[in-house]
Amino acid sequence: MALKTVTATVECPECFGEVELKDVMQNEIVQCADCGADLEVVSIDPVVLELAPDEEEDWGE
């Protein structure tokens, strides 16, 4: 996987606030400083954020 990183300011898909990204990689998970939402960098060219995958609990093993 390419280790390309990007620095950018983009809109939070949850609260529409500004999220400052510094040296992030594709599929890295970041947090919105305004609303606290976990966000995934699903693309770095162009930079696109989506809500990060939910974390569920499961009783399996």
Partner 1 sequence: MTSQNQAIALLHRLVAIPSLSLQESRATAWLVEQMAANGYICAFVDDAGNAVGEIGPADAARTVILLGHIDTVPGDIPVRIEDSPTGRLLYGRGSVDAKGPLATFTAAVARVGDAWAREHNIRLVVVGAVEEEYATSKGARFIRDRFNGSDEPVPDFCIIGEPSSWQRVTLGYKGRVLVEMEASQPMAHTAGPDAGVATVAVDLWNWVSAYAAEFNAPHDKAFDQLLPSLRDLRTWTDEHLHDRVAAKIGIRLPVDFPIDDFLAGLVDWANQRTATDTPLAPFSSASIEDGGVKRVEVVGPLTHLSLGIYAHEPAWRSDRNNALVRAFLAAIREQASDRGGERPGFVVKTGTSDMNVVGPAWGCPILAYGPGDSSLDHTPNEHIALDEYWQAVLVLEQALRNLG
Q: 45, 39, 4: which is closest to 20 by C-alpha?
A: 39
CB of 26 vs partner 1, minimal distance in Å? 6
Q: Applying CB under 8 A, which of residues 10, 13, 28, 48 lies at the interface with partner 1?
A: 28
Q: Following CA atoms 11, 13, 16, 21 in sequence, which dihedral angle do they give, to the nearest 10 degrees?
A: -30
Nearer to partner 1, 12 or 44 (CB): 44
**58 contributes a contact to partner 1 by CB under 8 A:** yes
48 vs 36: CA distance, rounded Å: 17
Binding residues for partner 1 (CB under 8 A):
1, 25-29, 40, 42, 52-61
